[in-house]
Structures are given as structure tokens and as C-alpha cells.
């Protein structure tokens, strides 16, 4: 079927939004401040909601980040006029499934935003009610997210009977709770020992109240910490080494592990080289999966470790972490793998953001090794010299490889607020936004739609398939 101009525009719009929803978080980036980011993302969300509501809701099934997922949920719940019953029911299923995947603190924050915005329709109350009913331990939530849970219950008009309601709204009227977690919280007001049975973030407040020395508190509360809490302490210069973290490295997601490695000083990375490299390769192997590991043939990668890979103080070294994680993942996927870092350095474990971005030169180097596939991970700011990468890729596609024997994909971890999209290197090369390197396989598939060789019908079919699998996984 011949694509109409409207179909082509719709396809472009949807891909632009998906790229933004994967990479943009409303935080400062290297080239744009927080205000620009939030204004740009806000415009895109409004544009998609008004013009492509069905496809806008379908984005919840994709690998978008939680910041944008929460914005989609909020806007869908705010606007119900003119939406048919079946469409609302379908959106409700997508929303419920997405909330299941989000961290509870993010969901409670979303509920708080809905309350402040005065969104209190029947569908919103039902979603809050069902999400709370599905929580595995609401008493735990009452202790850890007490004010947020209280606010959500009030906003959705939920009757909380028994001890849970008393704990949230009148805890001082009870001399003892029968529920262990609630009773521990009550005793922690008076007993030092009780606070070590509470979640770390709750216990931290009680420790400060009781004047417990930080070193003593951290030593005794360590067993109650989550893995992420331990890592945050290690990454904090004021923290201390938590020994158990080292044993957990092999179970960490790949991009998060790369961020952890970059937070270590160079001396620690050098000292722990074998341990860290082994953990990164194990995480990459898990992310690749047995069906694809070693099946991508000859792969070359151009990876951006220039100064802009620092990101910003809000997202420190995030672009570089994605590039390092992609490096190890491509190593696992390829039968033969050759990386080309923009700085010319070769030791991925010891990288720091540095220097200009000679993407064009590195693309030339990569194509000389005759790969089956070229993956470029960069924020798209080619500046040494400016525009060389676009010209190299244009000539390669139009003159030297018009049959696309070499599959080229550009993955960009940074949202460009000024362009309402991720920055592209060349019109002839498909570009997709990337947040976590673990999503590389699905993003390479999604990027083919950006090449202009596949139209809106195929994109809709792809989204329908992703939505179906997304909903079935939660059934």
C-alpha cells in the first residue's frame, strides 16, 4: 500500500516521541538546561496526546523511561472526554501494567501529582485502588511511604479499616500494634534496637533522632539495605565501603553496573580490574541472551567518550556509561568485534569523558574493517570537524553501499531539547534513542522505521505486537 504524506508524517512524529520518551528525563544535559528539557518534553507529550492518542498510550509498552511513562499516565487520566469505553478500558490495562513495572516511590509520586492537579475521576480512583490492592505488603508501604500512602488513600476515597487505617491517621492512639512492621515502627521511637528492623530510609531518620553515630548505624543496618542503597553509599564520597556489594556485582543490570564502575576512582578500577571486567562481561552475556550471543557476525562500534559524554551534574557520566555498557554487550553479541572510541583510547574500564568528538574519522576507521554491522553510540554532536560524519555516511550509503550490505545504526543516549528528538548524524542512517544498553537489541529493530523504508502500517503492527506481549506478560 502506498504511504500518504499524512502517514509519513505520523510515522516520523511517533518515532520522534519514542526517542524523546526513552532519553529525556527533564533534567539538565550537557547542551541544554533543565527548563529547556521540561518545556520541550511537555510540548511533545501534549502534541502526541492531541494528535495520536492511541499511539501515545501504546508507548507505555515500549522501553521508555519512568519519567515519561508517568507523564503519559497522568495525561491519559486527565483527559477522558471524547474517549470511547473500549479505548478507556484498553488504556486502563496499559496503565495498570506499566504501574506494576515502576518503582513504588515513583508510583506514589505520580498519585501525589494527580492529587495536586485535582484529577479524581472514577478511572483514576479505580487505578489507585487496584494498584494498592495488588501491593504485596501494604504494611511495609505504610512504614516506608507513610505520607504518600495516606495521601493516595484520601484522594481515591479508599476506606482503610483496622490497624492500617489507625497507623496512617491516628498512630498515637494505639499502645501496641498487632502487625509486626507497624509495631516495630512504634517501638523505634523509643528503642534503638527496633530501628534496625526497619527499612534503611526509615531507620536513617530514627538514627538521626536518637543521635546514633553514622558509622555504627551503617554497620548495623547494612543487612536491611537494598543493593541500590549499598551502591549509592559506595558512590557517595561521604560513605564507606560496604563489603557485601562486591558479591552482588554479577547480578547487577549492565548499564547500572557501568555507572557504578565510572563512579569509582581510577585507582580502584585498576586495582579491581579483573573483578569489574568479569562482572561487566557476565552482565553483558545475560543481556545478550543465548539466542543472540555471538550471532551478529563482524561488528564494529564507534563509541563516544568525548567531553560531552560527561552529561551533566544531574546525570553524571550517563552517556559514557551507556557507551561502555554497549561496548561489552556488542562484544558478547559479535562473532568478531572491533571498538573505536572517539578519543582513540582502548581501555574501556579506565575511560573518562575527554576531548572533541571526531565521529567522522572513527566511522571511516570502522568501515575500513568491512563489518557486517556498524553501531554508533553518540550524542550526535560531531565537531572535529563539524559535519564530517554526515558526509561520510551520506557517501557510503549513496555511492559505496546503496544495497545496505553493512547495517548501520546510530543509538543516541541524550535528548536534544532544541530539536524535540535525539540528534541525528545523517538522514541516511537510522537513529534511535537509548537509555539502557540492555535495550540495544529491540532499539536496533525500532530504528529501521526511522530509515524511511518501512511505513506507518508496519509501525502500527510493530506497536500492536509490543502492546500484546506487554499485556500478556502481566496477565
List the one residue out of 25, 46, 122, 130 whose CA is nearest residue 77: 122
- Lowest average pLDDT, out of 18-22, 232-236, 307-311, 340-344, goes to 232-236
CATH code, 393: 3.40.50
Please confirm whether the linkage preceding 385 is cis (ω < 30° from 0).
Answer: yes
Cα distances from 354 to residues 178, 273, 310, 328, 375, in angstroms, run 58, 21, 8, 20, 21
- Examine residue 416 and state whether it is found in any structural domain, yes or no: yes
Q: What CA–CA distance (Å, rounded) separates 336 from 406?
A: 15
pLDDT digits 0-9 by tens, 149-206? 999 999 999 988 789 999 999 998 989 999 999 999 999 999 999 999 999 999 999 9
The answer to whether the beta carbons of residues 422 and 441 sit under 8 Å apart is no
- 308 within some domain: yes
Provide the pLDDT confidence category of residue 360 given band limits of 50, 70 and 90: very high
The whole-number average pLDDT for the span 316-335 is 96
Q: CB-based contacts of 6: which residues, under 8 Å, 6+ apart?
A: none
Q: For the chain, how many structural domains are there in total?
A: 1
For the chain, give the percent of residues with pLDDT over 70. 94
227, exposed or middle or buried, with CB in 10 Å at 0-12, 13-18, 19+?
middle
Contact assessment for residue 379 and residue 414, using Cβ atoms and an 8 Å cutoff = yes
- For residue 405, being part of any structural domain is answered with yes
What is the tens place of the pLDDT at every residue in 427-462? 889 999 999 999 999 898 888 777 655 567 888 888
Q: Is the pLDDT of residue 250 over 90?
A: no
User: For residue 241, what pLDDT band results from cuts at 50, 70 and 90?
Assistant: very low
User: What's the CA gap between 259 and 105, in Å, rounded?
Assistant: 22
On the question of pLDDT at 281 being above 80, the answer is yes
Burial class of 141 by CB neighbour count within 10 A (0 to 12, 13 to 18, 19+): buried
* CA distances for 438 relative to 68, 141, 232, 303, angstroms: 19, 30, 21, 16
Residues spanned by the domain of 429: 282-473
Q: Has residue 424 been placed in a domain?
A: yes
Alpha carbon distance 411, 63 (integer Å): 14
Going by pLDDT thresholds of 50, 70 and 90, the confidence category of residue 475 is low
The backbone torsions φ and ψ at residue 385, rounded to the nearest 5 degrees and listed phi first, read -85, 160
Instruction: Give mean pLDDT, residues 93-119.
Output: 96
> Residue 68: which residues within 8 A CB-CB, separation 6 or more?
20, 21, 22, 24, 25, 41, 45, 59
∠ at Cα 437 (108, 372), nearest 5°? 155
Task: Specify if 247 maps to a domain.
Answer: no
Four-CA torsion 324, 330, 331, 335, nearest 10 degrees: -170
Is there a domain that residue 224 lies in? no
User: Rounded to an integer, what is the distance from CA 278 to the centroid of its chain?
Assistant: 24
- Determine the average pLDDT of the residues in 262-290: 93
pLDDT for 292? 86
- Residue 92 belongs to a domain: no
Q: What is the model's pLDDT at position 209? A: 92
Question: What pLDDT, on the 0 to 100 scale, is given for residue 305?
Answer: 96
Mean confidence (pLDDT) of the chain: 90
List the one residue out of 25, 22, 26, 28 whose CA is nearest residue 313: 28
User: pLDDT-based confidence at 83, cuts 50/70/90?
Assistant: confident
- Residue among 258, 278, 442 at smallest CA distance from 351: 258
Q: Quick one: average pLDDT of 205-230? A: 89
Q: What are phi and psi of 411, to 5 degrees?
A: -110, 125
Quote the CA–CA distance of 455 and 452 in Å, as a whole number: 7
Instruction: List, for residues 340-350, the tens digit of each pLDDT value.
Output: 999 999 999 99
Write 271-274 long-range contacts (CB < 8 A, 24+): 273/349
Query: Looking at the domain assignment, is residue 172 inside a domain?
Result: no
What is the pLDDT at residue 2? 55
Identify the band that residue 222 occupies on the pLDDT scale cut at 50, 70 and 90. confident
> pLDDT at residue 363 above 60?
yes
User: Does 396 score more than 50 pLDDT?
Assistant: yes
Contact 256, 243 (CB under 8 A): no
Q: What is the pLDDT of residue 445?
A: 81
Cell numbers linked to 363: 566511522
Q: Per-residue pLDDT for 388 more than 60?
A: yes
pLDDT at residue 245 tops 90 = no
| pLDDT computed for residue 243 by the predictor | 44
Q: Which of 247, 436, 251, 279 is nearest to 349 (CA)?
A: 279
Angle at 120 between CA 119 and CA 126, to 5 degrees: 125
Look at residue 337 and tell me whether its pLDDT is greater than 90: yes
Model confidence band, residue 49 (pLDDT cutoffs 50, 70, 90): very high
Amino acid at each position: 500500500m502506498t504511504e500518504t504524506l499524512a502517514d509519513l508524517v505520523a510515522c516520523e512524529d511517533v518515532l520522534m516521541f519514542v526517542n524523546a520518551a526513552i532519553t529525556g528525563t527533564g533534567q539538565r544535559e550537557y547542551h541544554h538546561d533543565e527548563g529547556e528539557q521540561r518545556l520541550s518534553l511537555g510540548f511533545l507529550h501534549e502534541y502526541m496526546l492531541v494528535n495520536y492518542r492511541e499511539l501515545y498510550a501504546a508507548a507505555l509498552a515500549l522501553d521508555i523511561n519512568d519519567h515519561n511513562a508517568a507523564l503519559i499516565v497522568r495525561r491519559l487520566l486527565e483527559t477522558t472526554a471524547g474517549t470511547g469505553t473500549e479505548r478507556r478500558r484498553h488504556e486502563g490495562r496499559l496503565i495498570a501494567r506499566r504501574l506494576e513495572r515502576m518503582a513504588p516511590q515513583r508510583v506514589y509520586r505520580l498519585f501525589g501529582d494527580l492529587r495536586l492537579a485535582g484529577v479524581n475521576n472514577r478511572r483514576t480512583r479505580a487505578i489507585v485502588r487496584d494498584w494498592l490492592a495488588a501491593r504485596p505488603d501494604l504494611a511495609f508501604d505504610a512504614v516506608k511511604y507513610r505520607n504518600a500512602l495516606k495521601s493516595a488513600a484520601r484522594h481515591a476515597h479508599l476506606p482503610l479499616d483496622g490497624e492500617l487505617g489507625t497507623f496512617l491517621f491516628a498512630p498515637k492512639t494505639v499502645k501496641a500494634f498487632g502487625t509486626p512492621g507497624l509495631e516495630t515502627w512504634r517501638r523505634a521511637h523509643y528503642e534503638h534496637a527496633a530501628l534496625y528492623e526497619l527499612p534503611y530510609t526509615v531507620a536513617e531518620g530514627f538514627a538521626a533522632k536518637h543521635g546514633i553515630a553514622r558509622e555504627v548505624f551503617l554497620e548495623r543496618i547494612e543487612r536491611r539495605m537494598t543493593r541500590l542503597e549499598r551502591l549509592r553509599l559506595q558512590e557517595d564520597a561521604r560513605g564507606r565501603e560496604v563489603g557485601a556489594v562486591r558479591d552482588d556485582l554479577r547480578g547487577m543490570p549492565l548499564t547500572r553496573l557501568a555507572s557504578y564502575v565510572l563512579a569509582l576512582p581510577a585507582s580502584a578500577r585498576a586495582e579491581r580490574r579483573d573483578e569489574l571486567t568479569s562482572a561487566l562481561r557476565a552482565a553483558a552475556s545475560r543481556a545478550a541472551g543465548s539466542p543472540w550471543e555471538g550471532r551478529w557476525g563482524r561488528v564494529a562500534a564507534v563509541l563516544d567518550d568525548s567531553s560531552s559524554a560527561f552529561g551533566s551534574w544531574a546525570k553524571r557520566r550517563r552517556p559514557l556509561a551507556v557507551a561502555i555498557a554497549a561496548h561489552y554487550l556488542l562484544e558478547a553479541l559479535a562473532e568478531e568485534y572491533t571498538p573505536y572510541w572517539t578519543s582513540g583510547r582502548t581501555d574501556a574500564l579506565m575511560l573518562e569523558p575527554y576531548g572533541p568528538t571526531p565521529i567522522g574519522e572513527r566511522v571511516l576507521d570502522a568501515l575500513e574493517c568491512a563489518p557486517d554491522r556498524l553501531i554508533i553510540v553518540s550524542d550526535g554532536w560531531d565537531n572535529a570537524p563539524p559535519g564530517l560524519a554526515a558526509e561520510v555516511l551520506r557517501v557510503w550509503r549513496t555511492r559505496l553501499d546503496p544495497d545496505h550490505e553493512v547495517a548501520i545504526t546510530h543509538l543516541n543516549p541524550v535528548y536534544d531539547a532544541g530539536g524535540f528528538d535525539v540528534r541525528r548524524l545523517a538522514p541516511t542512517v537510522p537513529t534511535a534513542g537509548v537509555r539502557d544498553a540492555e535495550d540495544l537489541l529491540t532499539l536496533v529493530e525500532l530504528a529501521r522505521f526511522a530509515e524511511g523504508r518501512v511505513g506507518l502500517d508496519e509501525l502500527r503492527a510493530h506497536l500492536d505486537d509490543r502492546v500484546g506481549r506487554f499485556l500478556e506478560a502481566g496477565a
